[in-house]
Amino acid sequence: MAGTGIGKRVARKEDARLVTGRGTYVADLKMPGLREVAFLRSPLAHARLSAITKPEGAGDRVFVADDLDGVLPITARSTLPTYRQSDYPVLATGKARFAGEPIAMAVAESRAEAEDLCEAIELDLDELPPIADVWRALSPDAGRVHDDWPDNLCLRTEIDQDLSELEATAAVKIEREINTARQCMMPMEGKGVLAYWDDRAAQLVVVSATQVSHIVRTGLSECLGLEQGAIRVQTVDIGGGFGYKATLQPEEVCIAWLALRYRAPFRWIEDRREHLTAGANTREHHYKIKAYADERGRLLGLDAEVWVDIGAYSVYPFTACIEAAQAGGNLPGPYKFDFYRCKTYSVATNKPPFAPYRGVARPGVCFAMEQIIDAIAREVGREPADVREENLVPLEAMPYTNITGKQYDSGDYAASLRGVRRQIGFDQVRQRQQTGEADGRLIGVGFATYTEQSAHGTAVFASWGIPIVPGYEQATVRLTADGGVEVRAGIQSIGQGLETTLAQVASEILTIPTDNIQVLLGDTAMTPYSTGAYASRGMVMAGGAVSKSANVLAERVRAIAAHLLQCEAGEIAFENGEIKSGAASLKFSDVGRAWYLRPEELPEGVDQGGLEVTEGYKPGTDLGVFSYASHAAVVAVDPATGHVEILDYAITEDCGRMVNPMVVEGQAYGGTAQGIGTALFEESPYDAFGQPLSSTLADYILPGPAELPSMRVEHMETLSPHTAHGIKGVGEGSAIAPPAAIVNAINDALRGLGVEINQAPMPPSHILDKILAAQEAAS
């Protein structure tokens, strides 16, 4: 079928500029009088600031917290019962709480000169005992990250059920400690912000690399004490976000303040070193888990404790608590069992403030849960894939409310596992393992299945009581005089293709080709309110809003067209960008022309809203719609070196109705690449003094093209009963499963050596040390 509507593999509209170097990023902007800003960051993880001395004569070019008159700290509250509030000062006040925390900023013609100025600032710091990890933070003699807290716990959550009967009766009990390292999100473009004062509009204009422009506007208004009407947040192209750009950044507030104070343009661009140190803010989880199962490996209950190293402050608006709260809520994953106990601890340390990274908590919980399933299978002597399948929520149980109250709306989880098992050639892999490899490497196959809560909305966020709760998502759809369409939405594209996919939704309803549909995103002055791009919500929420607005617009077009064609509105149909009634037809431009240029031709009583519609949309449930997938990996482990090669990788995924399968596949490839980074390479280690040890890309290893397998992606399409067109979110999913599938594959390969790996990443040195230790123990 021709057309550019939902389900079509339409080539991405944005790619022509993005892949030919014609995109515009914050760093590309030019502006007369623009000055560059560098931040002086704390060299120590934990220190009292006794004195900061500006270089001679640089009083108006170097700024510290005291200079920022009237600027309030970033404040992320939550109504969760045990939550402790921490103010996040935009420049450190009193204490520095992590290495990399901004202490001062310097302004100059060039970034190099601004860095010169930073070097000339004298810092007098009194070092305090660093709290470099959760275990240190929890020890009774540790100091406090926040002096007014009674301990270093930001949040505790508890789901409690009595497991004593299982303890007494379960045939199989498995205990594991599982860890995932701290890491960075590493978008190709780091953070960046430029701000200036627009005299004509009497507005502070803040151009920021942000996923959440409207949230940033609200946050800036709070921190700067400026009414929202005087603030415009604008976006240009954004080179990846992944959650890193989904919070209000202290640097955004600082640059905005400079522009406000001096009525001139200022800019800061995060460099890679700042990202690697001050931005090492995600994924660090620690698990202690006890699982109970029957003799077939059927999971009966789970007893878990989860510690999240949340760093020094709570980010706005999501706070530091959603990570652990989501970990506790999502650990059961796609599995059906009846007894669950889980305690989570969000522990403050002297590290950068934790932020939600693609998959938020779920890569960690999936990593933990999938290892447990495999460990149970090994314990009962069955195939992990079989045991996994038997434990999944079955198709007949859908819709299913799980042990933590998640409402799995639809889908056949087991079918995705069978799909990936077939794709990966499971039986052939098992055969190949029998023969052994000529080069001495060991082959292993591993699986992981997950659910991805997407587009969770008002009720979920309201239950956390955080500063901003998403509600109705709005989008504007407008027909132009010449029959084109303009879509405006407050959500932000960070590379995920929304300029194309939102156009496809409008095209589906109006049949106008996407080439004639302009999509404008993010700019708070031009778009209706949206809380932005996060939580795999874009296509569900903004797609739903565009759909709803386009449908209302379609009604209005029909009414005018019916008048022009002298027929009933009900007889009008849209076909390939034309308006038809029987043999008669009109162009959309005829209707556009009537409204804008020839109003004398309009029917009496025409809808005065004209050809521009803004509607608000929410799915039928606030609790999220659940995408899911299974991943399978085949690895070869070199037992002599610990080196892992991924030989094959397959995905069977279901995100409901695919607006553009090519874009879905793009999300699968990109997310999997990031997940492989988490699994095998990426790590931001800290020493006992809280000093980051990976401060350049020489130490922080990212997977490159040679390390990534060519992944195969197979789709299932179970429509959500709750959303427009049956769409589910898909942005985060593929980053969730790779660490789990890969660790299970590695452990499958190493089984004969009596070695089991339980951490991510899994560098060769770690695998080799475990192999050598096992050999030592055996001899």
What is the binding site for other proteins (CB under 8 A)? Answer: 110-112, 115-116, 119, 271-274, 640-643, 681, 696, 698, 701, 703-704, 706-707, 763-765, 768-769, 772
Looking at residue 457, the DSSP 8-state letter turns out to be: -
* Closer Cβ to other proteins, 190 or 483, answer by number: 190
- Shortest distance (Å) from residue 103 CB to other proteins: 18
- Shortest distance (Å) from residue 747 CB to other proteins: 19
* Closer Cβ to other proteins, 272 or 580, answer by number: 272
* Closer Cβ to other proteins, 418 or 643, answer by number: 643
Terminal Cα-to-Cα distance of the chain (whole angstroms): 67
* Closer Cβ to other proteins, 383 or 707, answer by number: 707
Residue 625: helix, strand or coil by DSSP? Answer: strand
- Shortest distance (Å) from residue 124 CB to other proteins: 21
- Shortest distance (Å) from residue 71 CB to other proteins: 27
* Closer Cβ to other proteins, 286 or 770, answer by number: 770
- Shortest distance (Å) from residue 119 CB to other proteins: 8
* Closer Cβ to other proteins, 612 or 707, answer by number: 707
Distance CA 160, CA 175 (A): 18
State how far the alpha carbon of 181 is from the alpha carbons of 280, 658, 741, 750, 758, in Å. Answer: 10, 33, 17, 22, 11
Q: Which amino acid is at 620?
A: G
Written as six digits, the tokens of 485 are 């369409």
Distance CA 267, CA 272 (A): 16
- Shortest distance (Å) from residue 39 CB to other proteins: 12
Using alpha carbons, select from 352, 348, 371, 365 the residue that is nearest to residue 305.
365
Residue found under tokens 């195969």: 712
- Shortest distance (Å) from residue 702 CB to other proteins: 8
Computed on alpha carbons and rounded to an integer, the radius of gyration of the chain in Å comes to 27
Residue 431: Cβ-neighbour burial (10 angstroms; 0-12, 13-18, 19+): exposed
Using alpha carbons, select from 213, 225, 200, 297 the residue that is nearest to residue 75.
225
- Shortest distance (Å) from residue 499 CB to other proteins: 30
Written as six digits, the tokens of 644 are 């892992």
Looking at residue 83, the DSSP 8-state letter turns out to be: -
Beta strand 266-269 with 35-41 is parallel
* Closer Cβ to other proteins, 318 or 700, answer by number: 700
- Shortest distance (Å) from residue 697 CB to other proteins: 9
**Residue 773 neighbours by CB under 8 Å, 6+ apart:** none
Distance CA 451, CA 299 (A): 17
Element (H, E) at 524: none
Q: How many residues does the chain have?
A: 779
Helices (H) and strands (E) in the chain, counts: 19, 31
Concatenating the DSSP letter of every residue in 202-267 gives TEEEEEE--S-HHHHHHHHHHHHT--GGGEEEE----S--TTTTSS--HHHHHHHHHHHHHSS-EE
Q: Are 657 and 242 in contact (CB under 8 A)?
A: no
* Closer Cβ to other proteins, 201 or 640, answer by number: 640
Phi (first) and psi of residue 579, to 5 degrees: -110, 125
* Closer Cβ to other proteins, 118 or 417, answer by number: 118
* Closer Cβ to other proteins, 77 or 111, answer by number: 111
* Closer Cβ to other proteins, 292 or 649, answer by number: 649
- Shortest distance (Å) from residue 256 CB to other proteins: 23
The three-point CA angle 756-762-764 to 5° equals 95
- Shortest distance (Å) from residue 274 CB to other proteins: 8
- Shortest distance (Å) from residue 123 CB to other proteins: 16
* Closer Cβ to other proteins, 120 or 462, answer by number: 120
Q: Are 125 and 53 in contact (CB under 8 A)?
A: no
Strands, E assignment, 638-738: 644-654, 712-716
* Closer Cβ to other proteins, 571 or 645, answer by number: 645
- Shortest distance (Å) from residue 7 CB to other proteins: 38
- Shortest distance (Å) from residue 28 CB to other proteins: 17
Residue 462: Cβ-neighbour burial (10 angstroms; 0-12, 13-18, 19+): middle
Q: Are 40 and 68 in contact (CB under 8 A)?
A: no
* Closer Cβ to other proteins, 115 or 714, answer by number: 115
